Structure 1
């Protein structure tokens, strides 16, 4: 249920997203009646992959995403490391639209205030986020009850001026044996 937290944090290059992810997965779990976990240029690994669908003009550029253990395993801690570059200041009012799917079924579609989530999570990076290189690391405990399924997460982030901030697509496949 908490795998989306670090993934969102990666996508936004602001650890505050952890609160976004946690809320998203709690809501998805309520909808499905079970614990739900998401997924992980295309940068492909055995059971997860990520794709930066943004443009060079986006406010945030994702350089890399790594996880440990790789592949993610239900019932274990997962550490996600993201390297990203903020090309411009990220100010109050920045937001992210997050969609979580199980196959073609949409489990969650929700908008999150990035700066508010950063405050709520007591993140080390707070708004305004200054331009520059960021390395974000987050460890979360994956629930044992993650269903054997493939999850897709689409994250579309926007600045306070409604300009493109980040675009990230993630897939985690818990169907594969780990």
Structure 2
């Protein structure tokens, strides 16, 4: 199982990113232990949800323009299924060779820094959108199982996606707080 955690790489790697994120959080668990409204403006505002938030740090010229990201359940629960739904507009075609640099941190500690082939990850996750991706509006929904070993901690995930020609594709910063547990208990 792979995840770019709520680490949604670009639109087309949403499924892959969810899988990559799950893996990263699972690795973090092993290392550590042995609603809000979503804005569509490119204003850098933090979109705050119950125990997670994101910043669309992309530019209006990026190949993928994020419109919204929703997760169910909110807040995410370790050991349970997480459904991630992303809406985005693809402005420029996404072709083989597109990639994403993903960094997962626990506080200031870098747990994972890796480059992922977006098209390969989408294929491996059987994503509903596959390369090449033509310009247009897309809605991608993917469900992954989060590892139960995720520790009570705050994680950040930086996703920087690039086209096959090294042009900016997407920029996303995700923040997940697993210190908050469902029902308000910690």
The answer to whether TM tops 0.5 is yes
Return the offset for 1:45.
1.5
Detail structure 1 runs of 4+ shifted over 4 Å in the superposition: 22-30
Question: Which position in structure 2 is the counterpart of 1:103?
Answer: 107
Q: Whole-Å Cα distance in 1 between the matches of residues 27 and 178 of structure 2?
A: 19
Correspondent of 1:12 among 7, 10, 13: 10
Corresponding residue for residue 174 of structure 2: 170
Which of 96, 121, 126 is 1:122 aligned to?
Answer: 126
Kindly tell me: are residues 16 and 2 of structure 1, through their superposed partners in 2, closer, same or farther at Cα, counting changes over 3 Å?
A: closer
Following superposition, the deviation at residue 168 of structure 1 comes to: 0.1
Q: What root-mean-square deviation, in Å, do the aligned CA atoms of Structure 1 and Structure 2 show? A: 2.2
Q: Which moved more, 1:122-131 or 1:50-59?
A: 122-131
Please state how far the C-alpha of 1:46 moved relative to its aligned partner.
2.3
SS in 2 for 1:85: strand
- Counterpart CA distance in 2 for 1:86 and 1:34 is 40
Match of 1:141 among 119, 142, 145: 145
Unaligned runs of 5+ in 1: 36-40
Count, aligned residues? 170
Q: CA–CA distance in 2 between the matches of 1:144 and 1:27?
A: 11
CA distance in 2, matches of 1:11, 1:34: 27
In the alignment, is the contact (CA less than 8 A) between 2:128 and 2:140 conserved in 1?
A: no
Which structure 2 residues correspond to residues 41-60 of structure 1 after superposition, within 5 A? 41-60=45-64
8 Å contact kept, 1:16–1:114: no
User: In 2, distance between residues paired with 1:33 and 1:177?
Assistant: 18
Q: Distance in 2 between matches of 1:152 and 1:136?
A: 22
| TM norm structure 2 | 0.82
Report the 3-state secondary structure (helix = DSSP H, G, I; strand = E; otherwise coil) of the residue aligned with 1:4: coil
